[in-house]
A and B are shown apart, each in its own frame.
Chain A
Amino acid sequence: MPHGSLLIEFATAVIEGDANERARTREMLHRTLGPAALVDAAAVVASFNAVVKIADATGIPLEDYKAAATADLRHQLGLDRLER
Chain B
Amino acid sequence: MTTAPAPTGSSATLLPAALAHAMRPALAYERERAWHRLASAGTWFSGEQRLAIAAESRRAVQCKLCRTRKEALSPYQVDGAHDSLGQIDPPLVEVVHRVTTDAGRVTRRWIESLLERGLPDTHYVEAIGIVAVITALDTFDRALDLPQRPLPAPIAGAPIRSRPPGAQRNLAWVPTVAPDALTPTDLNAFSVHGDKNIHRALSLVPQEVLTFFDLDVELYLKDQQIRDFDHEFRALSHAQMELVAGRVSSLNGCYY
Interface SS of chain B: helix
- Contact yes or no, B247 A12, CB < 8 A: yes
Chain A's interface size range is 35 or more
Contact of A54 among B21, B100, B201, B249 (CB under 8 A): B201
Q: Give a binary string over B230-256; 1 marks a CB under 8 Å from any A CB, 0 the rest.
A: 000011110111011101110110111
- Contact yes or no, B14 A40, CB < 8 A: no
**Is residue B190 contacting chain A, with contact meaning CB distance below 8 A?**
no
Q: Give a binary string over B22-45; 1 marks a CB under 8 Å from any A CB, 0 the rest.
A: 111001000000000000000000
Compute how far the CA of A40 lies from the CA of B201 in the bound complex, rounded to whole angstroms.
Answer: 25
Contacts of A62 in B (CB 8 A): 197, 256
Contact of B244 among A45, A54, A56, A57 (CB under 8 A): A45
- Contact yes or no, B235 A58, CB < 8 A: no
- Contact yes or no, B202 A48, CB < 8 A: no
**Is residue A69 contacting chain B, with contact meaning CB distance below 8 A?**
no
Which residues of A41-58 have CB atoms within 8 Å of chain B's CB atoms? 41-58
Contact of B22 among A36, A49, A84 (CB under 8 A): A36
- Contact yes or no, A33 B235, CB < 8 A: yes
Contacts of B212 in A (CB 8 A): 50-51, 54
**Is residue B191 contacting chain A, with contact meaning CB distance below 8 A?**
no
Contacts of B219 in A (CB 8 A): 43-44, 46-47
- Contact yes or no, A55 B244, CB < 8 A: no
- Contact yes or no, B202 A55, CB < 8 A: no
Number of B interface residues, CB 8 Å?
69
**Is residue B187 contacting chain A, with contact meaning CB distance below 8 A?**
no
- Contact yes or no, A47 B200, CB < 8 A: no
- Residues of A at the B interface (CB closer than 8 Å) are 1-4, 7-8, 10-12, 14-16, 22-23, 26-27, 30-31, 33-63, 79, 82, 84
Minimum-distance CB pairs A-B, first 10: A59-B173, A42-B143, A55-B256, A35-B22, A50-B136, A36-B235, A46-B140, A47-B219, A56-B103, A48-B248
In the complex, 17 of the A-B residue pairs with CB atoms within 8 angstroms, ordered by the A residue number, are A7-B247, A8-B244, A15-B251, A22-B143, A26-B144, A38-B19, A39-B23, A39-B235, A45-B143, A46-B139, A47-B216, A49-B248, A56-B256, A59-B108, A59-B174, A60-B200, A60-B256
